[in-house]
Amino acid sequence: MADKEKRRSGATPPGMPEGNATKSDSDREFLSRAGVGELLRGAILKMVEARSDDPIGFLADHFCNLASVSETGTAGYSDVDHFSDGPLSAGAQEQQHLNRALWHLRLAHHSQRSAFSNNVRVAYDLLNLTGPLRRSGEVPQGPDVSCTDSPTEGGGGGGGVKGGLYTQTLQCLCSEGGVPASTSAPLLQRLHCQDHEAVPYDIFRHGVLTCAVFSDYIRQAQRLYAEVCCPDEGPASRALCLSVLGTLKEALETSQGCEANVCDNSNMKVNSCLEGNVKALCYLEASAKISPYRLGQAMAGAQARGPGGNMDAKEFENAAAELFITRVKVVS
Amino acid sequence: MFRCCIGHPQTLETFGAEGLRDSRKPRLVACSGSTLDHHDSNMLHSPHERVAHKDDVAVMAFLSFRLFQIQEITFKNYYTAYVTVRLLRRSPGHEAPAKWSTALRDLPLMDNPHTEGGSQDYCSVHRAQMQVEPDHVTSVRLILRQPSSAWLTFSLEQIQIFPQVPPNPEKEVSDWLSDLTLGDQHPDLEGLPDPQTVSSSLQQMWALTEVMQSNQTSASIGRYDVDGCYDIKLLSLT
């Protein structure tokens, strides 16, 4: 690879292949002219960063994306002359941007903080670009430059992502995460933005992170239901489900109450070390409420005196989702 | 000559008073007299106070209706050279008489009373710096001294007295911590799901919700509609 890098400065931009390659070209010269070294290096770097479980699928997606970059470039180039085609390719291009942004967002799990933040930034910049009316001087930079460079040329990019595009991103994230539309509807109600609004980066990141966390949360709730109910005996008892969710609700309220306390006390001269201790104590107290011992007690108690009847999986999921969604701040 | 506000120290109001330069004997600022005994004014002249008549002194006093514990006293200096803090403390039993004691004697606020250094500093006196425990305090007296004739007036401003905050969380810690140590008493779990697995799922869900909450943004998209309507008559002016 090293000698290919030395020759990189001499290679022509790979978006414009030479028509007259002489037959006496050595293999190395051919490869360096095509810029394959850079191409493969970019692909491997991306793969190492994403660490996906399906390397072949990942590479296939990666090269598809790169191919669509050069397609978009040429499509935009020709559309400057064809205004009648303008609105159609605008919509199609938006969809393409959306797909690429979603691909980036899928690369890292939200728990991998810095990788996830980088990807959100890239996705935001992708969606932030304005429509197909690019200047004809913008030549596609080719597949060796990853999409992070596009914002520098997209200086005409708007002051925010279109509200409709943002809402679509969130919907796709939720459905890809395995959340049924009816469950995610109340969440999207809180997070969505109108089409005429321009979404700034902070709100975009907040929405994306919330949807990613929510899909994990719902999957966990589904697993929880499976644990609570004995599968061969049909749906779980209502009392049991309510008691389990009740302990979660208590824990959430405890940690929320402690945050309120800390804010109230900020007038007093409590130094930051003490404040940190108080918060830590609150978290400990909240987590003690969902300890196995307390849970065992709650479940035993519920069995004895709770309401009768059963709760099916859907209702359980909705109840769990409600606990989460009530704590999501409404975008305003 | 003395302007003084007396407020309830518990409400953390700020006070101010001025000492005017004149070479007559020092005057007591505080009034509203029922809690102050008459013989207190004689205390200023008693030998252990070391008050010289030539020095100019001002006194500020603060009264409280309840006994309280002082955590800290903060103030802004205005050309005062030395300050003495005296406390009137009464032990909890009502029969015990209140006694004055000196918490801080002649704390220097200015390096040199004649020069500017430290003349407008913000200072604080913590309970750890006091020579007596500032507990069950009913009255606080600040005695200001400025021997230099260079300054026309001297005072302390923005005086705030902070009571001690009782450490509440510690009491509650022992409650639920002792619950955790009772793990040996296993409730009857016949036919119930395994608490360990259920608990770990719940902990995951709780952690995810906390992650979401801690990442909330205060950014605003700037919506000004009222219930989805931008009718000009409904738009608020704020």
Q: Do A220 and B191 touch (CB under 8 A)?
A: no
All residues of chain B having their beta carbon less than 8 Å from the beta carbon of residue A202 are 217, 219
Identify residue B111 by its one-letter amino acid code: D
CB B192 within 8 A of CB A303: yes
Q: Do A206 and B202 touch (CB under 8 A)?
A: no
pLDDT for A237-287, tens place per residue? 888 888 899 999 999 998 887 766 666 655 555 566 777 787 888 888 888
CB A30 within 8 A of CB A21: yes
CB A113 within 8 A of CB A138: no
**Smallest CA–CA separation between B47 and chain A, in Å?**
38
Distance, in Å, from the CA atom of A145 to the CA atom of A26, rounded to the nearest integer, reads 25
- Interacting residues of A41 by C-beta distance below 8 A, sequence separation 6+: A1
pTM above 0.95, yes or no: no
Extended strands (E) in chain B: 15-20, 57-68, 70-78, 82-89, 99-108, 122-126, 137-145, 153-163
Distance, in Å, from the CA atom of A189 to the CA atom of A119, rounded to the nearest integer, reads 25
* B62-81 burial code (b ≥16 CB/10 A, e <16): bbbeeebebbbbbbbbbbbb
Asked if the C-beta of A266 comes within 8 angstroms of chain B's C-beta atoms, the answer is: no
- pLDDT of A129 strictly over 90: no
pLDDT for B179-230, tens place per residue? 666 655 666 667 778 888 999 999 999 999 999 988 888 888 877 776 667 7
Q: Do A295 and B195 touch (CB under 8 A)?
A: yes
ipTM, interface predicted TM-score of the complex: 0.71
Which helix (H) or strand (E) covers residue B49, if one does?
A: none
Nearest residue in A to B195, CA atom: A292
What's the Cα-to-Cα distance from A151 to each of A42, A93, A124, rounded to whole Å? 18, 16, 10
Q: Do A290 and B199 touch (CB under 8 A)?
A: yes
Q: Do B195 and A216 touch (CB under 8 A)?
A: no
CB B189 within 8 A of CB B200: no
Nearest to A288 among B179, B215, B221 (CB): B179
Q: Which residue has the higher pLDDT, B228 or B74?
A: B74
